[in-house]
Chains A and B, each alone.
Chain A
Amino acid sequence: MKRYNPIVLIAQVSPISAILGLFLIVPIATILIVSFWDYSEFMLLPDFVWTNYTDTLGSYVTYKTYLNTFKYTVLTWIFTLLIGFPVAYFLCFHVRTLRWQIILFLICTIPFWTSNIIRMISWIPFLGRNGVFNSMLINLGLTNEPLEFLLFSDFAIVLAFVHLYTLFMVVPIFNSMMRINRSVLEAAIDAGANGWQVLTNVVIPLCKPGIAIGSIFVVTLVMGDYITVRLMGGGLRASVGVMMWNEISLLLYPPAAANAVVLLAVVLILVSLMMRVVDLKKEL
């Protein structure tokens, strides 16, 4: 075991390499290739043309769609962070026993293992025209007519994103916080720091890797989403994913592939910016 046996090693890593090769690397290479192809109404025509890229990058609609997607991303990121950080903080520093930490942590985690689509649908009784929110607002006398914008709107989309993805923020931040040596906090207090200073000068800097990992999850999930925008936007709102999905439905594969490459590039740039803060291997 001191010197590893190459045959054993190959047996250990070939399944994961084969699966990711066939179902991740080759498909992305396929997208890259097809993005340069031409197409007619019913056929893909192998070629090397830039038109798919010039069409999408030259279109005003593309920029507007990206802008809209960034809007969803930034809003979702801000809210998941503002909600996720205090939740993780409470679990880590205020829940005293490990048993209760585990129980409360699992309570936060369980919805993650259930269906996203059902979790989106479950907002209908709340946001619908005759839903709980509208009845409440009417009963309180805040409005006379039910608000139409609750369901099928930007509001509903961001709400659903926050509902679905806050957990992705809570878990990495909680993980970072649990690694903070409590004596560091005591040292800060002994040195005269008040609660706010401890938070901003000690806790938050030490949580940066967790915040970065959570942000990577949230940003990539929202940037690539099409189902939440489609469902919660009632088919009326645009995002990059929805734009691609529309092209795919019309069998316009080369333009969809070009869009996919652009999206991948944008996501990878965003991720590499966030990765600067974190050494992934140390976080495990």
Chain B
Amino acid sequence: MGERRRKEYYVLAVFFTIFVLFLYGPISAILILSFQGPNGGLTFPMNGFSIHWFFALFGEQLVGDFKAAFLRSLQLGLIVMVLTIVVSVLAGLAFRKKFFGSTLLFYTTVASLIVPSILVSLGIGLLYNLMEWEAAWYSSGMGAHLTWTLPFGFLIMIAVFNRFDKSYEEAAKDLGASNWQTIRYVVLPIIAPSLIGVALFGFTLSYDEFARTLMTSGVKNTLPLEIFGMTTNVTTPTLYALGTLTTVFSLVVILTAMGIVFYMRKRRERYGSDAGKGV
């Protein structure tokens, strides 16, 4: 048995490694190729090594204005992130008990995840069209993004509260804390690391969202729409340079979020939870 188990381990370990290479191989190729020499093309081999294409990106000849698009996506991502956290936590608190309509609301939220993105895009686009509202990235676009980020935030919060030890809250109540104090000084500090997770989902899913943005962002493009436009117009490694920049930005965001969670855990291991110390 032991012998067989080790053999199984090695086979699966190799399989897993290949899977990771499959995940990261293509994107690493983009990272490398964005440093093509000035005469290099979209494929290997590298024709020299330069940061020419990064300069080209900031030059004037580009089709669109990716800096403005980046700033729009950044702002939208932050707004969607904050809303996702607040709305998910509130809904999560409510769902600790059954209430009239809770099942309906639960399945509506799940449906938001399952409904094909093109329907959300078309539906919101049509609605704004018929109502003669002006579609814009910060109104209709934001709403479309929330239909994608909220279910993730909501389901995470349900999972978190399913594992939440209610005796902490009861202890706070027994010590005379009001409802608000209990939530502010006991519940929120305990679930803080999960909130970082929700924030990460909220920001990155919005920042990279394409399908639900297409008909809902109005006249001004978000970054993914800009990049998609480039794929049909740009046939130089400038495309890769932009890909590299936005991917590196995403990685910084992801690693920062993970770093914060890691730091919180370490601190908790060292000092214990500081829930309750705030009053």
Contact = CB atoms under 8 A, between A and B. Distances in A.
Interface of A: 1, 4, 8-9, 11-13, 15-17, 19-20, 22-28, 30-31, 34, 44, 83, 86-87, 89-91, 94, 104, 106-108, 110-111, 113-119, 121-126, 128-132, 135, 163, 166, 189, 195, 216, 220, 223-227, 231, 241, 244-245, 248, 253, 256-257, 260, 263-264, 267, 271, 280-281, 284
Contacts, number: 248
Contacts of B8: 94, 195
Interface string B70-114: 000000000000010011101101100101010001101111101
B147 interface: yes
A245 B145 CA distance: 19
B228 A114 contact: no
What are the 3 tightest A-B residue pairs by CB atom distance, in nearest-first order?
A224-B116, A27-B123, A23-B143
B15 interface: yes
B12 A86 contact: yes
A24 B227 contact: no
Interface string B246-269: 110011011000100000000000
A128 B42 contact: yes
A86 B123 contact: no
Interface string B178-220: 0100000000000000000000110011011011000100000
Interface string B137-178: 000100110110010001100110010000001000100000
Most B CB within 10 A of own CB, among A8, A9, A30: A30
Contact of A257 (B20, B122, B251): B122
18 contacts: A1-B179, A16-B87, A19-B83, A19-B146, A20-B147, A24-B111, A27-B119, A94-B12, A113-B208, A115-B208, A115-B227, A116-B208, A126-B25, A131-B43, A132-B43, A225-B211, A227-B228, A253-B129
Contacts of B5: 195
Contacts of A114: 27, 204, 208, 247, 250-251, 254
A130 B43 contact: yes
Given A94-B9, A115-B227, A125 B33 contact: yes
B231 A231 contact: yes
Contacts of B13: 90, 94
Most A CB within 10 A of own CB, among B22, B118, B210: B118
A15 B93 CA distance: 13
B50 interface: no
B26 A11 contact: no
A38 to B, nearest CB: 15
A263 B120 CA distance: 12
